[in-house]
Structure 1
Amino acid sequence: MYGLIGKMLAAPGKREELVAILMESTGEMPGCLNYIVARDSKDENAIWISEVWDSKESHAASLQIPEVRAVIARAMPIIAGFAEQFETEPVGGVGL
């Protein structure tokens, strides 16, 4: 399995809009075992995205799906930056 955990920063006042846009992409990603978007409890402009994939290749392939590319294009104007990103090797857990 392949995992990603990242902290994304929304433009000021745009976090809820960004969350809504990112949640639109969750049904169109073959190989995605877990996709969670969460608000940062201490930073009103930050969100955390946790992903678990069956493979790194499935994650890369998802970025070529037209619906996913459209969601990314809509989100880009309100993304202020990427604060942190970690690649992981999930070994199991609830929901996997």
Structure 2
Amino acid sequence: MIATYGFTATLTARPGLGDRLVDLLLTGLDEGAPGSGPHCLVYLVSRSASDPDVVQVTEGWTSEEDHHRVFAGAPARAIAGQIDALLAEQPAYTDHVPVRGRASF
């Protein structure tokens, strides 16, 4: 499959909650979670090298429609609700149109 839609989200946790935010985001890869399905082709959680409370998530999806459909489901809404409680500010999103690359984790 080819990713035709993607984005990077930069999330800033409240002070000292970066570890909890990372752990919660990584549950997105658990069985039945949004990142575990066939339409999510890239799901990468990264941290800032200089601020452990700044976390980035890079996602690549088969289509924007697939992403929105998956995120309308209960598992994604449950994770998103928990994430909101950890954030110091609204996430910043940068959308992407994937061209070519490689993801093998």
Pair in the same fold by TM > 0.5: yes
Match of 1:79 among 87, 98, 101: 87
Q: Which residue of 1 aligns with 2:17?
A: 14
The whole-number CA distance in structure 2 between the counterparts of 1:82 and 1:58 is 24
Structure 1 partner of 2:57: 49
Return the offset for 1:60: 0.7
The amino acid of 1:40's aligned partner reads S
Q: Tell me the distance in 2 between the aligned counterparts of 1:63 and 1:5.
A: 15
Of residues 32-41 and 80-89 in structure 1, the stretch that sits farther from structure 2 once superposed is 80-89
Q: Which has the higher helix share?
A: 2
60-69 or 9-18: bigger deviation: 60-69
Change (3 A) 1:83 1:25: closer
Larger strand proportion of the pair: 1
Please state whether the residue corresponding to 1:86 is helix, strand or coil.
strand
SS for the counterpart of 1:93 is: coil
Compared CA separation, residues 83 and 63, structure 1 to 2 (3 A)? closer
Matches of residues 81-96 of structure 1 in structure 2 within 5 Å? 81-82=89-90, 84-95=92-103
Alignment partner, residue 71 of structure 2: 63
Identity %: 26
Q: Tell me the amino acid that sits aligned with residue 69 of structure 1.
A: R
Q: CA deviation at 1:84?
A: 3.0
Gaps of 5+ in 1: none
